[in-house]
């Protein structure tokens, strides 16, 4: 959410930003919120004037009564009563006006960074850089569900019976590889100076509204029936929500956290849920990184954070590339974002395994997260990035390490988490 003062003073910049995001249907919202804001400020000013007048008139009434001018005093009392009635009307109107202003402001997208490429959707995202040489082996790489099946590692049929489509059982060494990757991701980020956290896996609507747009919430999140609680779609939601309404110590910035959580997503949209595999599912696990920092440091942290994900996957000998998200592919709260994609030797193309974003002060403004500097309180900047989301990360590992006989090489970095195993052997 952008600053209402900025919008008030720069309506054309806000409108141009909306056009860059190809959301022209939101253009009328700018003029609408400016008018509502004007009404709200006028109401607030009139209320302040009436409160000040009440104190002044009260003194005048006291003076008149002391002078025995009862009739004149009664006239002023009538004026006080009329003013009180009007003040009550204004005070009743203010919350409604404020609610309308806030509702519209939450729909207007954040101002994107000047470096963001302009494009309508993810098909116009721009490749930045490749890391590692993509290899296509001499044999045909099986579909990841078949790789897992050969090591006795996947049961989607049973998951369908217990939970429905979009769920899965990982079994044996497949489950162990999955957990090994998460444990390694945790330790990798701790070594980078991040504090490890396990957050709540459910959050209230006030936190949801603070970290994402309403449209995202509807498409992603599961609500707990009869309660003001939502299952998290990523631990970033809980981690940023931890600081809701707080004034953090400026000397503690940047606050660097890496968090583990299960994640739950509806995955509503054109992609759908895979029938056989585990690429797009309702439930997965994730190691995330979150940073709260001073505004002038946010872009430096953005570049550090995505580079950590690249380094993580390269340490597992998985080739990756970075992809700059274009304006039309950015969620409304994001200032700038890039995806990290892993090489798929089976498909001979890259697929998304992580996403890094800086949101400026948008989340901090919604949630009231500030710090106190030499010149007073100011909003912090928030950033988030995927270290590892798996089983999607597991798919990248499997495809890049499977052998023709169905065995899977275990990268050196994961061997300590696999009891020293350097290879997983097929059982079928």
- Domain termination site, one of 105, 130, 145: 105
Q: Based on the domain organization, do 377 and 337 belong to the same domain?
A: yes
In this predicted structure, the answer to whether residue 348 has a pLDDT above a threshold of 90 is yes
- Domain termination site, one of 105, 131, 163: 105
Report how many domains make up the chain.
2
String of DSSP letters for 62-105: HHHHHTT-HHHHHHHHHHHHHHHHHHHHHHHHHHHHHHHHHHHH
Predicted TM-score of the model (pTM): 0.89
Q: Based on the domain organization, do 399 and 316 belong to the same domain?
A: yes
Q: Based on the domain organization, do 183 and 91 belong to the same domain?
A: no
Higher-pLDDT residue of 267, 424: 424
Q: Based on the domain organization, do 95 and 209 belong to the same domain?
A: no
Q: Based on the domain organization, do 171 and 261 belong to the same domain?
A: yes
What would the pLDDT profile of 230-283 be if each residue is shown by its tens digit? 999 999 999 999 999 999 999 999 999 999 999 999 875 545 556 679 998 999
Q: Tell me the residue range of the domain where 396 lies.
A: 122-424
Q: Based on the domain organization, do 153 and 278 belong to the same domain?
A: yes
Q: Based on the domain organization, do 95 and 150 belong to the same domain?
A: no
Rounded distance between C-alpha atoms, residue 335 and residue 367, angstroms? 17
At 386, the pLDDT band (50, 70, 90 cuts) reads very high
Q: Based on the domain organization, do 176 and 225 belong to the same domain?
A: yes
pLDDT given at position 270: 42
The Cβ of residue 384 has, within 10 Å, a number of other Cβ atoms equal to 26
**Strands 195-197 and 255-264: what pairing?**
parallel
Percentages helix, strand, coil for the chain (3-state, rounded to 5) are: 45, 20, 30
- Domain termination site, one of 105, 140, 174: 105
Lowest mean pLDDT, pick from 61-65, 120-124, 332-336: 61-65
209 domain residue, yes or no: yes
413 domain residue, yes or no: yes
Q: Based on the domain organization, do 251 and 222 belong to the same domain?
A: yes
- CATH number at 35 reads 1.10.287.40
82 domain residue, yes or no: yes
State the average pLDDT over residues 13-22: 98
350 domain residue, yes or no: yes
**In the numeric block, which tokens belong to residue 83?**
């003013």
Q: Based on the domain organization, do 101 and 130 belong to the same domain?
A: no
- CATH number at 210 reads 3.30.930.10
114 domain residue, yes or no: no
111 domain residue, yes or no: no
Mean pLDDT (the chain, rounded): 92
Contact yes or no for 189/286 (Cβ under 8 A): no
């Amino acid at each position: 959410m952008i600053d209402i003062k900025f919008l008030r003073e720069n309506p054309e910049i806000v409108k141009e930003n909306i056009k860059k995001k190809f959301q022209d249907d939101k253009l009328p919202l700018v003029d609408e919120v400016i008018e509502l804001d004007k009404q709200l400020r006028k109401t607030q000013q009139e209320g302040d004037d009436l409160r000040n007048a009440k104190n002044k008139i009260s003194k005048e009434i006291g003076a008149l009564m002391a002078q025995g001018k009862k009739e004149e005093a009664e006239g002023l009392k009538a004026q006080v009563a009329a003013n009180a009635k009007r003040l009550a009307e204004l005070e009743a109107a203010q919350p409604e006006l404020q609610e309308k202003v806030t509702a519209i402001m939450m729909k207007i997208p954040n101002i994107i960074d000047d470096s963001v490429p302009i494009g309508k959707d993810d098909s116009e995202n721009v490749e930045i850089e490749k890391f590692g040489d993509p290899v296509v082996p001499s044999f045909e790489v099986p579909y990841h569900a078949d790789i897992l099946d050969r090591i006795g590692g996947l049961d989607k049929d049973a998951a369908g019976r217990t939970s429905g489509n979009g769920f899965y059982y990982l079994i044996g060494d497949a489950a162990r590889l999955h957990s090994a990757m998460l444990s390694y991701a945790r330790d990798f980020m701790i070594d980078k100076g991040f504090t490890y956290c396990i957050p709540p896996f459910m959050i209230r609507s006030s936190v949801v509204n603070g970290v994402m747009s309403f449209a995202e919430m509807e498409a992603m999140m599961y609500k707990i029936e009869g309660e003001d609680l939502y299952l998290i779609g990523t631990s970033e939601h809980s981690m940023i929500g931890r600081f809701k309404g707080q004034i953090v110590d400026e000397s503690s910035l940047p606050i660097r956290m890496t968090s583990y959580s299960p994640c739950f997503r509806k995955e509503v949209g054109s992609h759908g849920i895979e029938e056989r595999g585990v690429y797009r599912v309702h439930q997965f696990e994730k190691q995330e990184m979150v940073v709260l920092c001073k505004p002038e440091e946010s872009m430096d942290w953005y570049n550090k954070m995505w580079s950590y994900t690249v380094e993580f996957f390269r340490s597992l000998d998985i080739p990756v590339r970075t992809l700059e998200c274009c304006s039309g592919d950015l969620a409304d709260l994001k200032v700038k974002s890039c995806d990290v994609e892993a090489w798929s030797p089976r498909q001979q193309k890259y697929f998304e395994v992580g996403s890094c974003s800086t949101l400026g002060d948008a989340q901090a403004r919604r949630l009231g997260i500030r710090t106190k500097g030499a010149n007073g309180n100011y909003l912090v900047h928030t950033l988030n990035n995927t270290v590892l989301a798996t089983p999607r990360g597991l798919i990248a590992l499997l495809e890049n390490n499977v052998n023709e006989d169905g065995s899977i090489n275990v990268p050196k970095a994961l061997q300590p988490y696999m009891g020293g195993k350097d290879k997983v052997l097929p059982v079928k």
